Every structure is written in structure tokens, then in C-alpha cells.
Amino acid sequence: MKSARLIAALSLILTSCMAAPSDDNRYSAGKPMRDWRNFSMPSEEVLRDELSDLQYEVTQHEGTERAFDNAYWNNHEEGIYVDIVSGEPLFSSRDKYDSGTGWPSFTKPLIAENIVERIDGKLFMQRTEVRSKHGDSHLGHVFPDGPQPSGERYCMNSAALRFIPKQKLQEWGYGEFAPLFE
């Protein structure tokens, strides 16, 4: 936990001037998601139009939003988190926990096949970047300092995610995940 807080503090210092505070999440305002099962990558022009500046910076240019100033770090509702670009399911609220970092953190992905991990050597340290498989969105990083049994902390950017509340899973095309919350 100590290393998680140190990483959070360093990230906060390094990124506080990089990103503006969370701006409007256009998809969260009720705009329908793409059909994640038949996703094809939209053009850069379409992405720039559909995503807020912060969402675009985070997902397309490996940006980082501010800690404690984002949509989901303190969200305690039941539901799933999907990629803001592709809509592919990524994480469940059942695996979310308070890591003290100011970003939404999870112990494991909802569907491991929808996550791609790669080594990131930026910022003078080696980390493991987490990207969505189909949208190729930068989501955040995974660290080996999470709670057991996995010991992993998937530290994600809210700007890369859309939260689907359990009450909307069926309506928004994610009904297969409703049994997780029964």
C-alpha cells in the first residue's frame, strides 16, 4: 500500500499540469455505445468528435487524468466499466476497491481477453501499461501491489471508461453480465 501511495503521489505531481480537470463525458450522458461485439475502429476525426479532449488525450495519447478529480475513483455503484471507445467490457464493480490513489482500481479484469498488457518505460520507470484489445485505448497501468488473492492493482483512468449501472445492463446491451449482481 505504501508503494501505491508513493506512485500516486509521483503521478499526481507529474500529471497535475498535463491534464485539465475531468470534462464532460459525452458517452456517460446517455449516448448509446457502439456494438462492442462488432466493433470496427472509427477514424481519428470521428473519435475527436465523439470524445472529450481529456478522453481523447488519455485513450489515444497515453495521457493521465488527475487523481481524485475524475468520474469513477469514488464510484460505489454496482455495474461494469467498459472502454469509452469500443464499448468492450473491461472491469466489474465487484472487483473495484479503494487503493488510496485517486483513480479507479480493480483486482482483475472482467474479461481478461479484452485487456492487453505491455511494458511502458516512460517517466524513468518500468511499468505495465493496460490497453483495451479491440479499441486499443490506453486505460492505465497494472501494478503488483494490490490485495490478495491476485496481488494486482489495475489503476485505470476514468476518462477511458464508461460505467454501465447494473440497472442498465440489459437495456444497453450488456445483459449477460446482470447475473454478476444477483
Residue 12's domain comprises: 2-24+40-181
Active site residues: 155
- The whole-number pLDDT of residue 31 equals 53
Is residue 84 included in any domain, yes or no? yes
Within 10 Å of residue 51's Cβ, how many Cβ atoms? 23
Strands (E), 88-180: 89-92, 96-97, 105-106, 115-120, 127-132, 138-143, 153-156, 161-165
**CATH number of the domain bearing residue 61:** 2.170.150.20
- For residue 90, how many C-alpha atoms fall within 13 Å in the half-sphere facing its CB? 36
Q: What residues of the chain score a pLDDT lower than 70? A: 1-34, 123
Tell me if 19 is assigned to some domain.
yes
Overall number of domains in the chain: 1
Residue 83 has what pLDDT?
97
Are 97 and 117 within 8 A, CB to CB?
no
Does 149 sit behind a cis peptide bond, omega within 30 degrees of 0 on the bond before it? yes
Residue 35 has what pLDDT? Answer: 74
Q: Is residue 32 part of a domain?
A: no
33 lies in a domain? no
- Could you tell me which residues come within 8 angstroms of residue 133 by beta carbon, excluding any fewer than 6 positions away? 88, 113, 114, 115, 116
Segment 49-102, tens digit of pLDDT: 999 999 999 999 999 999 999 999 999 999 999 999 999 999 999 999 999 999
CA distance 14 to 163: 27
CA distances to 49, 137, 141 from 105, in Å = 28, 17, 10
Residue 35 lies in a domain: no
pLDDT of residue 11: 47
Residue 30 resides in a domain: no
> Would the pTM count as exceeding 0.85?
no
